[in-house]
Every structure is written in C-alpha cells, then in structure tokens.
Amino acid sequence: MKKHIDTILVQSGNRTDAGTGAISPAIHLSTAYEHKAIGQSTGFDYSRTGNPTRSIVEDTLAKLEEGHRALAFSSGMAAIQAVLSLFTTGDELIVSQDLYGGSYRLFLQFEKQYGIRFHFVDMHDDSRITEKLNGRTKAIFLETPTNPLMNETSISAVSSIAQGHNLLLIVDNTFYTPILQKPITEGADIVVHSATKYLGGHNDVLAGAAIVNSEELGEKLFIIQNSIGAVLSPFDSWLLLRGMKTLSIRMAQHEKNARVISEYLKNHDCVSDVLYTGRGGMLSFRITREEWVGPFLQKLKVITFAESLGGVESFITYPAAQTHADIPVMERNRLGICNRLLRFSVGIEHVDDIISDLENVFNQLRGEAIIHG
Amino acid sequence: MGKKTYSRQTSLLHSHGYDAHTGAVSTPVYHATTFHQSNFDQFGAYDYSRSGNPTRETLEETIAELEGGVRGFAFSSGMAAISTSFLILSKGDHVLISEEVYGGTYRLITEVLNRFGIQYSFVDMRDLHEVARSIRPNTKVIYIETPSNPLLNITDIEGIVKLAKANDCYTFLDNTFMTPLLQRPLSLGIDVVLHSATKFLAGHSDVLAGLAVTGNELLAEKLAFLQNSFGAVLGPQDSWLLLRGLKTLHVRLKQSSESAYKISRFLETREEVEEVYYPGLSYHKGHEIHVRQAEGPGAVLSFRLKSEVEVRRLSKAVKIPVFAVSLGAVESILSYPAKMSHASMPQPERERRGITDGLLRLSVGLEDTNELIEDLKQGLNSIKIESIHDKIIHL
C-alpha cells in the first residue's frame, strides 16, 4: 500500500529494530562490523561504506522523493559535489542562472580545475536551454524555486528537453521538499537536498542528500560516495531522521505564516516588492532604501539575522553579503540580487509576533528618516 | 596554557584550553548550523557551520598543534580528507603514488580523480631512483604512506621530500599508522599530513573522521576553500568524540605498541607463519630508516600464512580479536586485506604488491598481551589440527 507522505515521515525508523522494538532507531556509532568468517558479512563492514543508522535515513529519503535509492552526505554541498563527480573532463552542464552561491562557487571550481563546463541560463525559456545544447552536454541542473529570487521552473517542461537529448536532469529540491514537489515524479533523474534546511528543520544538523531514479545511477553515485567519503555520520543521520518526523506539520505552519507575511509586506510602503510563489516558507523582498538594510537587520528582535534557512526559527539573510557574496556584483545586479534584497525564511513562531517585530523596525526606520531627512 | 613548552602527552590533554564562558573542561558540542550576526558590517567568527564550527575548530587547532602545522582541517572520513586534498589539483596534473597504497585511496585515484583529467602513476616508494625516474614535468604531488598498509613498508621521508622539492611538487603523507605521537612528517618537510582519524586518533571504533594538516600557508588557504566548497566536513558530535579519543591516545598507543612487539616476536617463532611484517623487528626491511624518522613501531603488524584455507581456519579459531575491517581501536582487530581493505584493487595488482591470499593484518588493541598471544597460539594450532583432520577424512 502506498502511504501518504505524512505517514512515511512519522513512521520513519520505526520497526527497523526487531531485537528491541525501539521506536526511535538506535544510533550505530560502530565504524567496523564483525565478520563471522571470510566472506560472511551482515551487509555492514565499514561505516563509510554502509551504516545501519544512515541506511534508515537513506531509505526514508528514497521513499519521500519516490526515488530508487538515496545517499546521505555530510552537507548539501557534499551531495552536489558527489553528483558533479558523475561527469568527466570535457562534459558540459546547463544550469539555472540564479542559484545558491555555494553551488555557483562549486561549478566555477569544477570548470576551472577539472574542465567540466557550465552554461548559466534562464530556465523559463526553453530556447535558452536548447541553444546551449551540443554533443558534449550531459545534464541540466536546476533549482526551483530559485534562491533567492523565487523563480519557479516547470520541471516537466525541462524534463522533456532533457529526455529528448538524453541528458540527466538534476533538481535541487531544498526549498520545497517532497511535501510540495517531487521532481522524480515529474521526470528528474536526481534530486539533491541541503537537508540542513527544511528536512532537518532545527538549525542543528548539517546534512545533504541525493536521491536517484534508477539502480544504475544509484550504484554509480554510491561508488563516488564511498570513494570520496563525505558521508553523513550516524548521530547526524539520527538527528535528520528526528527532524523529518515533523516536516509535514512544520511545512504547513511555515506556509501559513509566509502567506500572511507576504501580504503584510506587499502592502507596506517600506517594501518595494515581494517575491513569493504562494507555496512554502521562503520569500524574498526588497526594502525601499538600501541604507535601511543595515539598521533593519540589527534592530530585529524576534527574527534572527543569520545565514541558512528552513529552520523553525525565522531568519532573514542578506544575499548580497552572505549566501551570494561569491557571485560578482555585476552578475548579481543583472540577476536582480541587488543590495536591497532580503531573503526571509519564515519560521513557525506566532505570525503576529513576527509581524510586530517587522512593524516595530519599519516604524523606527521611518521615524529616523523623518528626523534625518 | 603556553604552547610548545609541554610534551605531546600533556598537550593532548590541555592544548585546547577551557570554554571561555563556563570554564567547561570538556569542549561543548555546538550543534548550531548557523550563527546570529550582531554586527551588520562585520560578521562574527562563525556564520555557517560548514564554513566554521567552534567544536570542529577546537579539534582542528589541536591536530594542527600536534602535527606542528599552521592549520588543521577535519573531514567526515579519512577518504574525505584525502579526496579533498587531492582536488587542489587540476586537469592535466600528475600524481605519483605509493604502489601499495590503501585500497580506498587506490579506488579514488583510479575511478574518480582520473575522470577530472588528473593523471597518476604508482611507484615503489622504497626505491628512490625509481621515484626520481617516475617524476614527470607535470607531477604536482608525491603521495606516500609509511609504514604502508598492510605490509608496513618503510619509505624514506626525507629522501622523497628532497626529490619533491627539487622537482617543485608537493608531498602528501598518510600518517594514520603512526599518529603525530610517533612520527611528525611536517618537521621532515612534508607539505600535507593526512589521517584516517577513525583509527588510532579516535581509537574506539565509534567515529568516522579524517584530518589534514599543513605547514604551508598557501596550501592551508587552498584546503580551507575546498573544505568549505565541497562540504565534506566533520559534524560537531563527531568532532567532540574525536577530541575525547585524543585524550587517551598516548596511553593507548604505548600499551598497544608494547603488545604488538611481543606478538611479533611470538609470531616469528611459529612454523605456520611464513613472514612477519612489523617495523619494530630489527630485520624488517627499512627498520633503520624507520628508527631515524619515527619514534616507535606502532601497533599494526601483518603476517603471512601459506594459503586462504589457513587464514579461514585461524580467523574461525581466534576468540579475542574482532575479525573485521578497520584498525587502531581499543579492541584488537584481525583483518584480511585481500578481501577487505584491498578488495577494491584488482587481484593481479594486489598480488604483485605482496598482498596475497595468505596475508593477515593485526591491529593490536588494549587486551592483556599474554591472553592475546595465547589466543593466537590456539588459533595457529588449530591450523595443523584441522589439516590432520582433513587428511583423515580424505584417506
């Protein structure tokens, strides 16, 4: 019986330990596993290659994304690095033009040092994708919605281009999570996550995941995971599993709050525009005056000024100086990641408290503007 | 506590000081992935845990001090430390690697790095002439393990460093078997020291971790960039476990090494054993070089039985050592390289390197030495008994 995602999430790890009946699975810290005799393995030999606690979280991730197999990594970037390691010098990839700064930095590194080429395009326009295609193109990598501009791309539309040209389609599903979007069901081959964000959800564990749609890709990626060794530790696997149990109810509350806040910001005269898709807990907005950004961030009392997103606490990030600092200024401005843009990861606090925090700060800024002109 | 005025034994316990806020002796575990920024114009020391985490940083400072380097880096596994370090190279670069390298490193080089256009050749690092002949104009790194895994072959570190410097390439050394207590490669001119800290440094078979230390500021910058960019970082809980393990490294290694020496002397007396490989034995090839460059033989030894059949009998009969992969733990671990650590190496390559079907590796733990010897004795005795038994059946 195919279960609802809420049920998969809550039941993850349960009934995995017949010996004790533990509901919360044991954390297997052991790095080595006894062999009863030569060639007799329990399936676990060495923790980098396979760990019982990590296996549970990997199986859960595969189910959530409706993939064939999932692999857990020590960070979201480690997952992306492993996926990029599927390619070879001379290969080319077509990638979203506005995407997380860390991915952008990694792509440049792969291009400069290992000779894998990246074409940054606007994924909304099929012709922009097709004009970059050539015999060396091996994959399309997209984020939807994008970070931080919240542009949505139709995965199935890009998937038909990918399938038509025999390309792998890789989708970063960090912002929506499988609660709102399951890229594999829309034709993606690989889904990547910074599980540090919504999946973990508590700003207390760094983790990454890659979920694939076939046995062949699973085996290839497993060899890379085992060779590069950037695996998620047992303790962090357990924390991630624990976090995911509440993903469904957290996401519902994030979205409920984000909808109210986006309306509030849209109607506020200190805000010039709000970028929100109507789904999920992420939105971005531009404050009307660039000189307000600094004091705005410093005066917040409930919302935290920090990097990262997807946690239970509300965060505001300044992409130009934090997440996207590695993208050159000209390029940033061309894309719209200007110096007035703020990214808001709406938490699950009471929405009235978040709004009054914003209202207080806006009032202070306006008051000071009146005094100082 | 002042630096460099204390022995390594003492600095293992005190080098990282105490928590500034609470005075806690045991370093706090910071699970926070992100850190509030109170100043808009100048961010604090920590912003995002992948880029920097206080618990991981304590560990990184400790290992840098122990190895005598300028900066240390902690990774999610030994292979993550090794792969990240190799990836400072670019397409077209060449690396020269010890031919008897750990199976996982062999797989990384031949199956992953080669796809990025990084070329490689394997060489017997004991033969400095062959090393010199194998260096190409595009050779950027010479990678060594000494003592090597599993045959405990000794490489002349200074000899390699000299060749590398003359040819303008970096030297990487896997120091897993020795730890900085017994061998400090940076002081001999090595550029990057690597560790599977899963082994002796952590010592309890309960944490997977890798470390890299360099004495070169430029390399430190490159490694810091890649550690952050690739993100194969060690988690805070694991960093803490490793720091905890380090506190007993000195006593663990001392006890295990003493036992390993006695066991090697026992094994050499047994007729079932064709050869014993242990740097502490005066006739071990490279013994003199090892004595010059290291402060002890360590706690890993290998020995050769006649065949796989005999290995099967021994591994079935021994009661104390765990028959498993890995090494460097408080528990003694008996491994079968042909099917474990070196399984990823093709058979002809493996056998050419001396990793035959009769070879066993023993990582000596902290059990009572005499009990370990007694256990091995009954295990070796069982080989003969079973073989007589087989003959009777076949008569």
ipTM: 0.85
Are residues B229 and B273 part of one domain? no
Listed by number, the residues of chain B in 279-318 with a beta carbon closer than 8 Å to a beta carbon of chain A are 308, 311-312, 315-316
| CATH 3.90.1150.10 residue window(s) in chain A | 248-371
Interface mutation vs chain B, best among A40, A105, A237, A307, most B CBs within 10 Å: A307
Interface mutation vs chain A, best among B229, B312, B359, most A CBs within 10 Å: B229
Q: Higher pLDDT residue, A332 or B14?
A: A332
Report if residue B2 sits inside a domain.
no
Contact A307 B231 (CB under 8 A): no
Q: Which residues of A are catalytic?
A: 48, 100, 172, 197
Residue B63: CATH number of its domain: 3.40.640.10
User: Catalytic: B102?
Assistant: yes
Tens of pLDDT, residue by residue over A134-157, are 999 999 999 999 989 999 999 999
Q: What one-character-per-residue DSSP string does B286-302 give?
A: THHHHHHH-S---SEEE
Q: Tell me, yes or no, if B208 comes closer than 8 A to chain A by beta carbon.
A: yes
pLDDT in tens, chain B (395 residues): 344 567 877 777 776 677 777 777 788 899 988 888 877 777 888 888 999 999 999 999 999 999 999 999 999 999 999 999 999 999 999 999 998 888 899 999 999 999 999 999 999 999 999 999 999 999 999 999 999 999 999 999 999 999 999 999 999 999 999 999 999 999 999 999 999 999 999 999 999 999 999 999 999 999 999 999 999 999 999 999 999 999 999 999 999 999 999 999 999 999 999 999 999 999 999 999 999 999 999 999 999 999 999 999 999 999 999 998 889 999 999 999 998 888 878 889 888 889 999 999 999 999 999 999 999 999 999 998 877 776 666 65
Q: Is the pLDDT of residue A173 over 60?
A: yes
Contact B308 A38 (CB under 8 A): yes
d(CA A188, CA A168): 8
List chain A residues with CB under 8 Å of B47.
306-307, 322
Q: Of B246, B270, B288, which one is at a domain's C-terminal end?
A: B246
Backbone angles phi, psi at A80, to 5 degrees: -70, -40
CA–CA min distance B389, chain A (Å): 20
Q: Tell me, yes or no, if B95 comes closer than 8 A to chain A by beta carbon.
A: no
Q: Tell me, yes or no, if B77 comes closer than 8 A to chain A by beta carbon.
A: yes
Chain center to CA of B327: 9
Are residues B371 and B225 part of one domain? no
Reading phi first (left if > 0) and then psi (alpha if -120 to 50, else beta), residue B314 is in alpha
Tell me B255's DSSP state.
H
Nearest-CB residue to B315 (from A38, A208, A239): A38
The tokens describing A329, both together, are: 């200024």
pLDDT recorded at residue B289: 98
For A326, the closest chain B residue by CA position comes to B229
Is residue B99 helix, strand or coil?
coil
Listed by number, the residues of chain A in 36-55 with a beta carbon closer than 8 Å to a beta carbon of chain B are 36-39, 45-48
pLDDT recorded at residue A373: 53
Closest CA to B256 of B195, B297, B217: B297
Helices A76-84 and B217-230, packing angle to 10 deg: 90
The tokens describing B242, both together, are: 């490793």
d(CA A212, CA A126): 24
Contact B112 A224 (CB under 8 A): yes
Are residues B269 and B234 part of one domain? no
- Residue B316 has a CB neighbour count (10 Å cut-off) of 14
Rounded-to-5 percentages of helix, strand, coil across chain A: 40, 15, 45
Q: Tell me, yes or no, if B104 comes closer than 8 A to chain A by beta carbon.
A: yes
Residue ranges making up the domain that contains B153: 8-246
List chain B residues with CB under 8 Å of A77.
50, 229-231
Torsion sign across C-alpha atoms B381, B383, B384, B390: positive
List chain A residues with CB under 8 Å of B39.
298
Per the CB < 8 A criterion, the answer to whether B72 and B63 are in contact is yes
d(CA A148, CA A317): 10
Q: Tell me, yes or no, if A76 comes closer than 8 A to chain B by beta carbon.
A: yes
d(CA B148, CA B134): 19
Backbone angles phi, psi at A341, to 5 degrees: -85, 130
Contact B322 A294 (CB under 8 A): no
**pTM, 2 dp:** 0.90
Q: Of B198, B222, B246, which one is at a domain's C-terminal end?
A: B246
CA–CA min distance B5, chain A (Å): 35
Are residues B142 and B69 part of one domain? yes
Q: Tell me, yes or no, if A1 comes closer than 8 A to chain B by beta carbon.
A: no
Q: Of B246, B268, B285, which one is at a domain's C-terminal end?
A: B246
List chain B residues with CB under 8 Å of A310.
none
d(CA A262, CA A232): 35
Q: Tell me, yes or no, if B42 comes closer than 8 A to chain A by beta carbon.
A: no
For A206, the closest chain B residue by CA position comes to B33
Considering the segment(s) A5-244 as one domain, its CATH architecture is 3-Layer(aba) Sandwich (3.40)
Are residues B308 and B273 part of one domain? yes
- A248-371 in CATH: which number? 3.90.1150.10
Listed by number, the residues of chain A in 220-239 with a beta carbon closer than 8 Å to a beta carbon of chain B are 223-224, 226-233, 235-236, 239
pLDDT recorded at residue B391: 66
| CATH 3.40.640.10 residue window(s) in chain A | 5-244
| Cα angle B133, B135, B136; round to 5 | 115
Are residues B171 and B65 part of one domain? yes
d(CA B100, CA B19): 43
Are residues B343 and B209 part of one domain? no
List chain A residues with CB under 8 Å of B80.
74, 78, 228-231
- Residue B84 has a CB neighbour count (10 Å cut-off) of 29
Q: Tell me, yes or no, if B360 comes closer than 8 A to chain A by beta carbon.
A: no
Are residues B230 and B261 part of one domain? no
Are residues B259 and B212 part of one domain? no
Interface mutation vs chain A, best among B30, B36, B37, B318, most A CBs within 10 Å: B37
Contact A75 B75 (CB under 8 A): no
Contact A297 B116 (CB under 8 A): no
Q: Is the pLDDT of residue A99 over 90?
A: no
Name every residue whose Cβ is closer than 8 Å to that of residue A262 and which is 6 or more positions away in sequence: A274, A276, A283
Contact B323 A36 (CB under 8 A): yes
Residue B317: CATH number of its domain: 3.90.1150.10
